[in-house]
Structure 1
């Protein structure tokens, strides 16, 4: 299905339209052999609250961005190589039809509007991953970043269970386990090469585990709070909206 679309005019036109929607804020997406497999809106669980994001599935990458004007303008483009991706289905009582998108550097949850859409998205993404790994001969990534616990799910530190969060006592996230912790319970840093070239904030529990199995990777002392916020969590005015257009997957129509 995908191979048939590689050199088609329809595929070239679609990719150009995606590039134009991101404008100068996005990276060029038209490279030889790349195919736009599908697109649609998914609800992404960000640090503070769920938000609508536009997703584009290519045969080698997954791209998403903030919706400025639906189908016309997007910004804050994120590109995820599919070779790094692992999907994990969720059974969530509050937000149905969700799954995890896990990568070595970042992992997060997304939700579709219906169970059918969830199955369709997951099937297409997994098929692209399998085909990509088969052609490249590479093995799937074994280690993935933790999914951050949303701020709203923790009113007190998940490590000491005592420290209550306020405007002054900020929430922090352990980059190893994703737990919401207070400053004193996350005042250590450790080098996690798959996530950053600089040592990152980790909770005391993960720090002890990491230092017991690694050596020479840690920097002791107070953790640097710069870059603590999730860069995809800025308030863009987009609310989760399950009543959106159905996702479109290309190539299913043999007459296309």
Structure 2
């Protein structure tokens, strides 16, 4: 297995605010890696920097062995990186199927029909709502649609930013089951998640962020068992 993503010593600022302070981490092919931490720890900023929405002042980001530190966001999709943003950001006036088709814009060749079938197998609820506009879907259905849209681009790395945010517990369970199924099918995933228990339960490895720095790393099982992590993030 090769290294899909290698982040080295990135520092990110919002004006004078130093949001990310020299963090380094990597994701290997076939892994689920999670970034956990409190609100404002820098988790989403990290994903946005990897995807090209933000720029680091230092260091480097390598994706599939190439330095992509200065590659614009819209070109990263074509290279095999898909971000499901916080808050879902589906096209509310478009139908379910139109949203999914938008996810395939970077794909060459005639696999659209087969790709749609795969997404509908993974998310049967979306198949029932093919012609429905995305704005009329529930929060959980919109999250499924955002994930399905990202999968249409055949990502080498799927980045999920707070997929459980605002969802009822039963839907959170469903979303994490889907994440596990994607992992079993070979998808490499970088997951940012407030729900540390759920995230660490599906992750091969995790990194804990506090105020823009990585303070702890370990396997998902190690972090779940850590008294410090339990106390800080798992209510233990």
The alignment's TM-score, normalised by the length of structure 1, stands at 0.22
Q: Which of the two has higher C-alpha Rg? A: 1
Q: Could you state the TM-score of these two structures normalised by the residue count of structure 2?
A: 0.23
Using CA pairs under 8 Å that are at least 6 residues apart, name the structure with larger relative contact order, 1 or 2. Answer: 2
